[in-house]
Copies of this chain bind each other. A is one copy, B any other.
Amino acid sequence: MSDVRSGDGRVLLSPGQESFLAASDGLDTPFLVLDLDVVAERYAALRAALPDVAIYYAMKANPAPEVVTLLDRLGCRFDVASPGEIARCLELGIAPERLSYGNTIKKERDVAAAARDGVRVFAVDCDAELDKVARQAPGATVYVRLATDGAGADWPLSRKFGCGPGEAAKLALHACHLGLRVGASFHVGSQQRDPAAWERPLADVADLFDGLVAAGGVPAGVNLGGGLPSTYVPTTPGVAAYGATITELVARHLGRFAPIPVLIEPGRYLVGDAGVIESEVVLISDRDVDPGRRWVYLDVGLFNGLTETLGEAIRYRLRTPGDTGRCGPAVLAGPSCDSADVLYEQAPRHLPVDLRIGDRIQVLATGAYTTAYASVWFNGFEPMPTYVIGSPEAPAG
């Protein structure tokens, strides 16, 4: 049981994270503590919130083998982005039919290799990609990705992925003619704060499916993408609220196609809160080039774990010593010689006024999109280690 809570603004860790950190004085920072019990708890909560939806873990969020193995035991499936992720899943004994190759940007030889391995589900958003799948994986299922505007998401969405309803309809028909099974997918943007963000794309999917059915096709399924949140600043509704809203929206828009497979691809939601990065304050300064502003430099930064502070997009909760005392604003920066390695400056953080060099600061909910995105040897800093804690046994299959 974990007591990482959402919505109350309090800074809390899981019991496992707490006890690991309490005994971690001898460990060099930075490091990530990843609690499998929290992953299992999140999976169970999502399972309960969306009982009829097939969960595909977006393993790019954290591909640690312990996480993948635990989720496999829990019955989870996997959204994979590359040949490397497919290989890892297969090595861990996961059946290829439990994988969805969700990247819309694939080399044709990688599509071929995935098909040879037994992968049968692919995402596409344009004709060229559809043709690759048709050539290399005949009879497979393609999910045509619809674009969304990403409104309400903390990690910005670009026009890199997806197509509009008109192009999607053409793609779907073309896929049918190529002998492929056709579903629809979309992504409402990562760390999506508004459960209602699923409404508009679900309406688009319904239109797409109407056209498909009218042409004699059978929709293969809908993939609701990712977007479920971790516990950052600001707070978000709990997963039950997302589940209720999404269930209602799916019923309203896609009820006429029932029964239809519904998939979801959480990454951040399942592993974000399971992680905490322990870091050390390397330097505190108040220089005349930025008068009256305190700069706090940590040993973790943009290039060795906190990539998602880019543009100050993800606002991690912090736990500091003396959190009960008086606080004041501070710019937070990483340890490297790179000027871009500044974490929070436009919106400074509030840190204890008596914070000192050598103090340890915990960066909470850092289980997702941290260690896998860290640099190989940026400025001569080794990638931080991950200490995996909690039970690797699934409480229920």
Contacts and interface: CB of A to CB of B under 8 A. Distances in A.
Q: How many copies does the complex hold?
A: 2
By size class, the interface of chain A is 35 or more
A344 interface: no
Interface stretch (A35-43, A79-87, A212-220, A255-263): A79-87
A160 B374 contact: no
Q: Which of A288, A335, A383 has the most chain B CB atoms inside 10 A of its CB?
A: A288
A162 B337 CA distance: 11
Contact of A289 (B105, B164, B299, B340): B164
Contacts of A340: 155-156, 158, 310
Contacts of A4: none
Interface in A37-91: 58-60, 63, 80-86, 88
A251 interface: no
Q: Return the 9 tightest CB-CB contacts between A and B, nearest first.
A: A84-B380, A85-B380, A82-B380, A126-B285, A164-B288, A81-B379, A147-B289, A167-B288, A158-B339
26 contacts: A58-B337, A60-B378, A60-B379, A63-B380, A81-B336, A82-B381, A84-B380, A85-B379, A86-B380, A103-B335, A103-B379, A105-B336, A106-B282, A107-B299, A127-B285, A147-B289, A157-B339, A158-B345, A159-B287, A159-B289, A162-B287, A190-B339, A303-B307, A310-B310, A373-B378, A376-B376
Interface of A: 58-60, 63, 80-86, 88, 102-108, 125-129, 147, 150, 155-164, 166-167, 189-190, 280, 282-290, 295, 297, 299, 303, 307, 310, 333, 335-337, 339-342, 345, 357-358, 371-383
